[in-house]
Amino acid sequence: MAEEGIIKIVESRVMALHDKDVEATVAHYAPNILIYDLAPPLSHSGIDREGLAEWFKTWDGPIELKIRDLDVTASEDVAFATSLQRMNGNKIGAPPPDELQSTSEDDKPGLWFGVTTCLERIDGEWGIVHEHESTPFYMDGSFKAAIDLKP
């Protein structure tokens, strides 16, 4: 079933980011992928291994990624997956995340954001052709990112 394969691809990023493994992170990217990332610029095309490697160097230790509410819709040749994701870890030069005492996985510190991953069958294999990550911002005129939101 196509959905199961797509779920495995999306979930494979959890370990790839945790290990800061550039090749595993981009393993399912199509060569001409279009990315709307959390970090500037607004968009970029193609696989930027050097940029990803440099970003990984800004973390002290592993990057934790939690996927929640993963939903996959797939046809024979096109699929998309949506989810909420929480990223956490220790950024070099930044204060460590708060150590919250909570029994709820969703209450742990980190940045929650939305992700839409679009895939296409290329030569019989699923390839990620577009990825869109976003976090809401407050509509009060401050234009501040709403990084305090939790599901």
What is the tens place of the pLDDT at every residue in 28-52?
999 999 999 998 899 999 999 999 9
Q: Say if 149 falls within a structural domain.
A: no
Asked if residue 109 has pLDDT above 80, the reply is no
Q: Say if 42 falls within a structural domain.
A: yes
Q: Say if 141 falls within a structural domain.
A: no
Q: Express each pLDDT in 60-93 by its tens digit.
A: 999 999 999 999 999 999 999 999 999 999 999 8
Q: Please, where are the H alpha helices in 19-139?
A: 22-25, 49-56
Output the CA torsion 110→116→117→118 (10° steps). -170
Please choose, from the candidates 70, 77, 64, the residue with its C-alpha nearest in 3D space to the C-alpha of residue 121. 77
pLDDT band at 148 (very low <50, low <70, confident <90, very high): confident
Coil/strand/helix, residue 40: coil
The tally of domains found in the chain comes to 1
Count CB-CB contacts under 10 A for residue 92.
9
pTM assigned to the model:
0.89
Element (H, E) at 99: none
Q: Say if 150 falls within a structural domain.
A: no
Q: Which residues 6+ apart lie within 8 Å of 48 measured at CB?
A: none
Q: Say if 107 falls within a structural domain.
A: yes
Q: Say if 89 falls within a structural domain.
A: yes
CATH of residue 38: 3.10.450.50
Measured CA to CA, the distance from residue 59 to residue 57 in angstroms comes to 5
Q: Say if 148 falls within a structural domain.
A: no
At residue 96, the pLDDT reads 66
Asked if residue 104 has pLDDT above 60, the reply is no
Q: Say if 151 falls within a structural domain.
A: no
Q: Structural domain of residue 64, as residue ranges?
A: 2-134
